[in-house]
Chains A and B, each alone.
Chain A
Amino acid sequence: MAAGVATWLPFARAAAVGWLPLAKKTMPKPPIDNSSKSDEILYVNVSGVRFQTWKNTLDRYPETLLGSSEKEFFYNEDTQEYFFDRDPEMFRHILNFYRTGKLHYPRNECIQAFDEELAFYGIVPEIIGDCCMEEYRDRKKENQERLAEDTEANEGMDAPLPPNSTSRERLWRAFENPHTSTMALVFYYVTGFFIAVSVIANVVETVPCRPHKGSAKELPCGEKYHLAFFCMDTACVLIFTFEYLMRLFAAPSRCKFMRSVMSVIDVVAIMPYYIGLVMPENEDVSGAFVTLRVFRVFRIFKFSRHSQGLRILGYTLKSCASELGFLLFSLTMAIIIFATVMFYAEKGTKGSTFTSIPASFWYTIVTMTTLGYGDMVPNTIAGKIFGSICSLSGVLVIALPVPVIVSNFSRIYHQNQRADKMRAQQKVRMARIRMAKKGTANAFLQYKEDRNIGDPDGDNSALCVKNRSAFEHQHNHLLHCLEKTTNHEFTNEMNYSELCMTESVGYRTSRSTSLSSHQGAQNNSTGCCPRRARRRAAMRLANSTVSVSRGSVQELDTLHLKTTSIPPQTRSSLNAQMCDMKLNCGDQDFTAAIISIPTPPANSPDESLPPSPAPILGILRNTRATAYTQDSVKISSL
């Protein structure tokens, strides 16, 4: 019900007094209304802009946020007002809706922002007034189309093939997207070249060449160099046939493929050749044969696979079918009318070219399209008058549907441009997103380093705080909880791949003894690579030890690998940490591990906590990951 109706409800209820004397039964009791009767002014503060309104105004729509008790959540007792941390510009429109009962859509606002505001305040977009509804719908549809295109481009054709696709699927892919592989690209260009050659040959063979010596008649080149042209034609047709058969083989749905426009064009383009081969060279059928040759020109349509512009044009014409139909219909009407009139106007004159009404059609068409060949000309005054009216009206009738077609073409063309741009920008965007993700992951591992450094000795915790916001602290704590829950640890992609792939020889042997005591309690056998798990555990051990960087630390602008040799028995505090370590190499959730490489590792084993934290802090930086395998091998020899 509209807002205004709520205002009239008391009136309607009062008017019910008129039913009382007629009532057959006793009336029910009215609902008890305990709310304060007097109307009051409410203060609504939206990001500093204070709005005031009567309480009744807001109560008009009890199913929205402001009209229901939901707004009490936003009530600020100190300032005695309702505070909303939203856009004040938009709120103006929302409040006007309560006041006038009509919701308007501001044209200069982003449609999504507006939708979000409406969703927040609990207002359904359907009640936008008629004055703004069309604009709102158009903008919304445009936005949705744009978003749909983006997602389409995202999961679109450039996505890599699943690894276990058949050769048929790969072939089809190569045909549809030539730029996925070089072979496909080569094939694409070759076919394009041959299409061009074929078309040019068709054109050139009709040009008159110099006649043979001793003959007076000029021959078209096609007949003079009959063999050459035949060979060229054969070659082209062979290529086209091969391409068509390949496509037919690779097509996921053969029936659908055979029905598609492009395949029909392909067939039409190569059929004349085969029919010509089959047909005998006699006079009766050569006429038909010549006609078939016309169809060879359809090869030029094969270019539409190569040119996007052509496809857009074709698609536009298809989508403007109704406008074109209207144009044709109105033209036909006008042609018939004017042809009739001209015929009867010119009937009397001698030697008139307007011999019948269909004959006048030609004059009408030529005049309406302002061609004016001059082969048929009216001679009488009436004919001339009607002829001039005909030409004037022709201009108007043709000019009317053209802008619609043009705007359609423009829209589709721009959509295509946008899709292409999106695809190009997509890669950059994904790269940037990956970088950002890595950054946050690095932050977590950094936090873990600091925390492990700070753990054994409380003094260092202050230094480990660094510049992290409360949010980051809590986020890191959350990730840490997840680690503890699943009994896995986050690590660096590089590190992980290195560990899983490389086989550092000395590492295993040196570590196995030292780790055996630690890993007695461990149950890492279920890891996909127990050897790797052990090695990984060693790395983790190394990471979690503080005994690093007695000497100078080699600072790299890439990942620093921090490993130390471990005297396991002394690190009782670490045992607890290491106990429940179980790594699964299959874990996809990689984050960068910050590890630094100290150049002289010799001093490290005897170092107990705390070391000087300053160099460590200097080392531990969020940087991109590349691992230094060489140094790790060096360390492992200890």
Chain B
Amino acid sequence: MGLDGMEVIAIAVVIGLFVVVLKQFGVWEPLSLEDSCEGDLELSMVRHQPEGLDQLQAQTQFTRKELQSLYRGFKNECPSGLVDEETFKSIYSQFFPQGDATTYAHFLFNAFDMDRSGSIRFEDFVIGLSVLLRGSVTEKLRWAFNLYDINKDGYVTKEEMMAIMTSIYDMMGRYTLPSVRDDSPYEHVERFFQKMDRNRDGVVTIDEFIETCQKDENIMASMQLFENVI
């Protein structure tokens, strides 16, 4: 008896159902079971423990109590001991609700993440803070320069400065008085370079930067501003 078209389809359906049932019971592919188990292990948390308290005390200008307090806050927020870029961006964005702080946060993250590991450890966090709050003026200026120097090559080009400036103006958002014009960052960068770039070579080096800033009274005065943050 020849098989009709419908008979073929019917038999195909039956075989398909059979296979599905077998798959459910795991009889069909016994090997795949073991593989799926191992895949789950990778998701466990990567943890990081900071260096000892004494070492950190030596490396930074904070007292023991301050370090303890800082670590408690840090650990509470990031139990794994590491801050990745996304978390950092989301935290920083919460302080600037009107604008978009993600680009600037990205630059800031890179400034803190000294060993370019992709995540900020407690040591990076604390050392950075120490420089910003308890460091000398030169150290602070050096830190700021490091922030502006996106590719960390020792020179701040106009493009890098432009990127930084745009990201700062982005944080302001749309609703400002007077409103941010499209060329506001550009103007600001031009002024900055006029002030800082001594030899008019189109880049600002660290020495030019520090020298110019030390001559500027406003900048010097404001450097003391954040000393008592912690």
Chain A residues with CB under 8 Å of B221's CB are 26
The residue of chain A having its C-beta at the shortest distance from the C-beta of B189 within the complex is: A22
Contact of B7 among A12, A18, A56, A380 (CB under 8 A): A380
Is there an interface contact between A10 and B6, defined as CB atoms closer than 8 Å? no
A604-617 Cβ-contact flags toward B at 8 Å (1 or 0): 00000000000000
Question: Interface-forming stretch among A30-38, A166-174, A507-515, A525-533?
Answer: A30-38
Nearest chain B CB to A193's CB is how many angstroms away? 59
Do A20 and B10 touch across chains, with their CB atoms under 8 A apart? no
Task: Please give the distance in Å from A55's CB to the nearest CB on chain B.
Answer: 10
**In whole Å, how far is B2's beta carbon from the nearest beta carbon of chain A?**
11
Smallest distance from the beta carbon of A103 to chain B beta carbons, Å? 16
What mask results when residues 200 to 230 of chain B are scored 1 for a CB within 8 Å of chain A, else 0? 0000000001000100001101110110111
Q: Tell whether A22 pairs with B165 under 8 Å between CB atoms, given A14-B229, A39-B69.
A: yes
CB–CB B219/A20 < 8 A: yes
B155 within 8 A of A: no
Residues of chain B within 8 A (CB-CB) of A38 are 65, 69
Residues of B within 8 A of A380 (CB): 4, 6-7
In the bound complex, how far is the Cα of B135 from the Cα of A14, in angstroms?
A: 11
Beta-carbon contact of B188 and A24 below 8 Å: yes
Closest CB-CB distance, B113 to chain A, in whole Å?
Answer: 13
Q: Taking the complex as formed, is B192 at the interface, i.e. its CB lies under 8 A from any CB of chain A?
A: yes
Residues 12-51 of A at the B interface (beta carbon under 8 Å): 12-24, 26-27, 29-30, 33, 37-39
Q: Is B141 an interface residue (CB 8 A)?
A: yes
Q: Which of B10, B68, B91, B111 contacts A8 (CB 8 A)?
A: B91
Which of A1, A10, A13, A18 meets B108, CB within 8 Å?
A18
Tell me the interface secondary structure of chain A in the complex.
helix
In the bound complex, residues from chain A placing their C-beta under 8 Å from that of B186 are none
Whether, in the assembled complex, A344 has its beta carbon less than 8 Å from a beta carbon of chain B, the answer is yes
> In the complex the two chains form, is B13's CB within 8 Å of A385's CB?
yes
Task: Say yes or no for A230: interface residue by CB 8 A criterion.
Answer: no
A27 with B222: CB separation less than 8 A: yes
A430 at the interface (CB under 8 A from B): no
Q: A382 CA to B225 CA in the complex, in Å?
A: 86
With an 8 A cutoff between CB atoms, is A478 at the interface? no
Query: Would you call B144 and A8 a contact (CB within 8 A)?
Result: no
With a cutoff of 8 Å between Cβ atoms, the chain B residues found around residue A385 in the complex are 10-11, 13-14
A4-B91, A21-B144 as given contacts; A381 in contact with B10, CB under 8 Å: yes
Which residues of B lie under 8 Å from residue A17 when comparing CB positions? 132, 140, 143-144, 223, 226
**Is there contact, CB below 8 Å, between B218 and A23?**
yes
A7 at interface (Cβ–Cβ under 8 A)? Answer: yes
Query: A13–B74 contact, CB under 8 A?
Result: no
Residue pair B226, A13 in contact (C-beta under 8 Å): yes
Q: Is there contact, CB below 8 Å, between A30 and B225?
A: yes
Which residues in window 116-153 of A have CB below 8 A to B? none
Report if A386 contacts B (CB, 8 A).
yes
Bound-state Cα–Cα, A382 to B8, Å: 8
A54: interface (CB < 8 Å): yes
Nearest residue (CB) in A for B125 is A11
Give chain B residues whose Cβ lies under 8 Å from the Cβ of A20: 144, 219, 222-223, 225
**CB-contact partner of B230 in A26, A27, A37, A348, under 8 A:** A37
Q: Is there a chain B Cβ closer than 8 Å to A389's Cβ?
A: yes
Q: Is B94's beta carbon under 8 Å from chain A? A: yes
Partner of A389, one of B13, B92, B143: B13
Given contacts A20-B144, A39-B69, A381-B7, contact A33 B228 (CB under 8 A): yes
Q: What distance in Å separates the Cβ of B170 from its nearest Cβ neighbour in chain A?
A: 13
Tell me if B9 and A382 are in contact (CB < 8 A).
Answer: yes
Q: Does B114 contact A (CB under 8 A)?
A: no
Nearest CB on B from A563, distance (A) = 77
A21 to B210, CA, bound (A): 10
Q: Which of A7, A14, A22, A381 contacts B226 (CB 8 A)?
A: A14
- Measured CB to CB, the nearest residue on chain B to A348 is B4
Using known A-B contacts A30-B225, A38-B65, determine if residue A21 contacts B141 with beta carbons closer than 8 Å.
yes
- What's the minimum C-beta distance from B121 to chain A, rounded to whole angstroms? 14
Chain A window 381-393, contacts with chain B (Cβ cutoff 8 Å), 1 for yes, 0 for no:
1100110010000
* Chain A: CB-nearest residue to B72: A54
Kindly state whether residue B86 has any CB partner on chain A within 8 Å.
no
Is B133 interfacial (CB 8 A cutoff)? yes
**CA–CA, A29 to B213, complex, Å?**
20
Do the beta carbons of B168 and A19 come within 8 Å of each other? yes
Query: Which chain A residues in 356-387 approach chain B with CB under 8 Å?
Result: 380-382, 385-386
Q: How far is the CA of A79 from the CA of B147 in the complex (A)?
A: 51
Q: Is B74 in contact with A1, judged by CB distance below 8 angstroms?
A: no
Q: Which A residues lie within 8 Å of B68 (CB)?
A: 39
A1 touching B141, Cβ below 8 Å: no
A345 within 8 A of B: yes
A463 proximal to B (CB < 8 A): no
Given contacts A4-B91, A5-B91, are A14 and B132 in contact (CB under 8 A)? yes
Q: Are B226 and A12 in contact (CB under 8 A)?
A: no
Min CB distance B125 to A, Å, is: 7
Residue ID in chain A nearest B93 by CB atoms: A5
Interchain CB contact under 8 A, A16 and B226: yes
Which residues B89-137 have CB closer than 8 A to chain A?
91-92, 94-95, 108, 111, 125, 128-129, 132-133
A16 and B229 alpha carbons, distance in the complex (Å): 11
Within 8 A of B (CB), among A435-472: none
B77 contacts partner chain A, Cβ-Cβ < 8 Å: yes
Whether A345 contacts B140 in the complex (CB less than 8 A), given A4-B76, A14-B132, A21-B219, comes out as: no
How many angstroms from the CA of A16 to the CA of B226 in the assembled complex? Answer: 8
Whether the pair A15, B108 counts as a contact (CB closer than 8 A) is yes
Contacts of B94 in A (CB 8 A): 1-2, 5
CA distance A380 to B7 in the complex (A): 9
A21 and B213 within 8 A (CB): yes
Instruction: Answer yes or no: B50 CB below 8 A from chain A CBs.
Output: no
Find chain A residues with CB under 8 A from B226 CB.
13-14, 16-17, 30
Please, which residue of chain B has its CB at the minimum distance from the CB of A6? B73
**Which residue in A8, A23, A382 is a CB contact (below 8 Å) of B4?**
A382
> What is the 8 Å Cβ interface bit string for chain A, positions 337-352, against chain B (1 contact, 0 not)?
0000000110010000
CA A37 to CA B76, docked complex, whole Å? 19
Are B229 and A10 in contact, with the CB atoms below 8 A?
yes
A345 to B7, alpha carbons, bound, how many Å?
A: 8
Closest B residue by C-beta to A39: B69
A-B contacts, 18 listed (Cβ < 8 Å): A4-B76, A4-B77, A5-B95, A11-B129, A14-B128, A14-B129, A17-B226, A18-B111, A18-B143, A20-B222, A22-B164, A22-B192, A26-B221, A39-B68, A39-B69, A39-B72, A382-B9, A385-B11
* List of 9 A-B pairs having minimum Cβ-Cβ separation, nearest first: A7-B73, A382-B10, A14-B132, A382-B6, A385-B10, A27-B222, A4-B77, A18-B147, A345-B6
Question: Which B positions have Cβ atoms within 8 angstroms of A?
Answer: 4, 6-7, 9-11, 13-14, 65, 68-69, 72-74, 76-77, 91-92, 94-95, 108, 111, 125, 128-129, 132-133, 140-141, 143-144, 147-148, 164-165, 168, 188, 192, 209, 213, 218-219, 221-223, 225-226, 228-230
Given A21-B219, A22-B192, A29-B225, 5 additional A-B pairs, CB 8 A? A1-B94, A5-B94, A8-B77, A18-B144, A56-B72
